[in-house]
Amino acid sequence: MNAMTTRAERKQKFVLQGIPFIIFGIAAIPIWKALKKTDAADMQVVSPNVLSMLLNDLYILLSVSCLAILLGIVCAFYLEEWLPKNNWARRLIESHVAILTSIPSTLYGILAISIFFSYAGTLKVIDGAPPAQNTESIPFQRNTTLFCGEVLTFIFMVTPVTIKTTQEALRSVATPVREAVFALGASQWQVLRQHVVPIAFIRILAGGCRAMSRAFATAALLIGIYIWYDTTDAGGMSGRFILFLAVSLFLSVFSSSLTEVYDSDLTQRS
Amino acid sequence: MKNKIEISGLQVHYGDKPALNGVSFDVHPNEILGIIGPAQSGKTTLLKVINRTLEFTPEATVQGSVKLDGVDIDTIGDVYELRRRIGMVLPLPVGLPLSIYDNVAFAPRTAGLRTKPELDEIVERCLQQAALWDEVKDRLDSLGTKLSGGQQQRLTIARALSHQPEVLCLDEFSIAIDPVTTMRIEDVLKTLQTEMTILLVTNLVQQAKRLANRTAFFLNGDLIEIDTTDVIFSENPANQATYDYVNGTFG
């Protein structure tokens, strides 16, 4: 990576980093209105069935693994292997990834509640039916919006971290190895498929797991806060709390065991 | 006699820093051209220009022309084909994270060769030419990166020979190899000369004296002198700096 050296490049990066703040600023207006309208009943999770909640969480787990991690990996490969080194799109994506990874994960949870969930609530208000009654009669719709909100939050949390860790994993494949393979007449695709990906694979997997673990820990924390805030549905919620915390713990231990156990072998190989 | 490589007015800059300032010379077919010179004189850069791996260094700019068999290498559409015609041995041994067999068989497989007997034959021939066969013939399936530094270096030589290149570029190949094995490889190079053209970049001036038909002396990105090895290593080469460098009184 070439460091940002010239004044003009730094200026460009600064301007590009300003874009998300402007977007957040514009988005803040309807969010503020929505927050004012939201009452406690709107925030309650509807279905009292523990099993359906846990199944819902499993759906989230699957969709997040498919969407967020794949998106992150594809994005990182594009950035590292195809995009020219000195390019405005690269600067745009990398500066945004830097911002998104630096935001504390708890903040994402709070943002998720305030943006996606209450915004979904306002949409229902616009539809004409009061959200509290609507959710009683049609629980499925309510669950779908919740589901989408949760998945979107997870993508925002997981993708940047996956991009970052995948990029680092790809960079860990030493340039001499690439140059040696290229010197033997291999094409870009052959270099990637036969050398870069096998060496970097474990690190990419571990990075994805670590990102997921971060997301699950935040979710568990928020659910924990919810239990203390409102104990009417304590049984179901504590079930989710334990599930999220357990998955988070498992993923973090799994990712570190991946890097400790398998990667030591691979670093010898590369 | 038609020249194998014709280099004219070759300039390379890394950003603002010049690496080669307008170098012009020819390489004859089936000769060993020794390239000597202190660090930072542009020897490795020259080799990277020839097989177009300098393109991976984004800040490098190249001017001038390099012709291989009379064809400008910039006009060759299939750069991978060009690289297959040129064997390259880099100063740091890079064992690919594959088995020893796969390391050597990699380039022929890339070129589309799949039949096992032919690959076996190529692997054995190349490892023998690189003076490595006797040491590894019983463990061809072990990882290439587990070999010692000198063995890995010889593995890279075997790999460079595996696709039967027309031009073999050796960049300080003997850096980690003991003198006895080095002599064995040097003997192989002398016999390979009948099949290919060899560019030998070396820090050991005596190696150039032993092997090269002609020798080029580079200094700070300039080609100071190119002549037959006898002249370069004689008492009166054309340039005083060459005499000083060759006799170790440079400074």
Whether B215 and B232 have beta carbons less than 8 Å apart is answered as yes
pLDDT at A182 over 80: yes
The answer to whether residue A174 is domain-embedded is: yes
Least confident among B5-14, B89-98, B108-117 = B89-98
Mean per-residue pLDDT for B168-196? Answer: 87
> Crossing angle for the helix pair A118-127 and A139-171, nearest 10 degrees?
140
Higher-pLDDT residue of A118 and B24 is B24
pLDDT at A150 over 50: yes
| Of A84, A56, A180, residue with least CA distance to B106 | A180
Report pLDDT for B236. 80
The answer to whether residue A30 is domain-embedded is: no
pLDDT tens for each residue of A86-111: 778 888 888 888 878 877 777 777 76
Tell me which residues of chain A have a C-beta less than 8 Å from any C-beta of chain B: 2, 84-86, 174-187, 190, 195, 198-199, 266, 268-270
Mean pLDDT of chain A: 69
The answer to whether residue A15 is domain-embedded is: no
pLDDT tens for each residue of A38-64: 444 444 444 456 666 667 667 767 677
Residue of A84, A179, A195 lying closest to B53 (CB–CB): A179
Higher-pLDDT residue of A4 and A215 is A215
State the CATH number of the domain containing residue A240: 1.10.3720.10
Mean per-residue pLDDT for B8-32? Answer: 89
Domain count, chain A: 1
Per-residue pLDDT band at A29 (split at 50, 70, 90): low
Whether A179 and A197 have beta carbons less than 8 Å apart is answered as no
Exposure string over B5-19, b if 16+ CB within 10 A, otherwise e: bbbeebebbeeeeeb
- Find how far residue A41's CA is from the centre of its chain: 28
The answer to whether residue A189 is domain-embedded is: yes
Report pLDDT for A32. 59
CB contact residues (below 8 A), chain B span 23-82, against chain A? 51, 53, 56, 58-59, 80-81
pLDDT at A265 over 70: no
Q: Is B145 on the interface with A (CB under 8 A)?
A: yes
**Which of helix, strand or coil describes residue B168?**
strand
Whether residues B80 and A175 touch (CB distance < 8 A) is answered with: no
Q: Which tokens go with A146?
A: 């919740």
Domain range for A225: 48-269
The answer to whether residue A89 is domain-embedded is: yes
Class of domain B5-233: alpha beta
Report pLDDT for A269. 44
